[in-house]
Amino acid sequence: MAKLLRQSLVMLLLLTIVTGVVYPLLVTGVAQGLFPAQANGSLVMEHDKAVGSRLIGQSFTDPRYFWGRPSATSPMPYNGAASGGSNQGPTNPALTAAVKQRIEALRAADPGNTAPVPVDLVTASGSGLDPHISPAAAQYQVARVARVRGLPQATVKALVATHTSGRQLGVLGEPRVNVLELNLALDALQKR
pTM above the 0.95 mark?
Answer: no
Q: pLDDT band for position 192 (50/70/90)? A: low
Residue 64: count of CB within 10 angstroms of its CB = 17
Identify whether the C-beta of residue 78 lies closer than 8 Å to the C-beta of residue 56.
yes
- Measured at the CA of 82, the angle between CA 92 and CA 37, to 5 degrees, comes to 130
H/E stretch holding 49 reads strand 49-53
The SS3 of residue 139 is: helix
Output DSSP code: residue 71. Answer: -
Chain segment 7-35, per-residue pLDDT in tens: 999 999 999 999 999 999 999 999 999 98
44 in helix, strand or coil?
A: strand
118 contacts 162 by C-beta, under 8 angstroms: no
For position 104, what pLDDT does the model report? Answer: 93
Tell me the residue type at 146: A
Over residues 58-69, the pLDDT tens digits come to: 889 899 999 999
CA distance 152 to 159: 11
**Predicted pLDDT at 145:** 95
Cα separations in angstroms, 45 against 37, 83, 124: 11, 23, 26
CA angle 180, 183, 184 (to 5 degrees): 85
Backbone angles phi, psi at 177, to 5 degrees: -125, 125
Q: Where are the alpha helices (DSSP H) in the chain?
A: 2-17, 23-34, 36-39, 93-109, 135-149, 153-162, 179-191
What pLDDT sits at residue 87?
75
Read off the pLDDT of residues 92-114 as tens digits, 9 standing for 90 and up. Answer: 898 889 889 999 999 999 999 99
Q: Are strands 164-165 and 176-178 parallel, antiparallel or unpaired?
A: antiparallel
Which one has a higher pLDDT value, 72 or 14? Answer: 14
Comparing 51 with 134, the larger pLDDT belongs to: 134
pLDDT digits (tens, 9 = 90+) for 133-173: 999 999 999 999 999 999 999 999 999 999 999 888 888 98
Of 114 and 84, the structure prediction assigns the larger pLDDT to: 114
Q: What is the pLDDT of residue 162?
A: 95
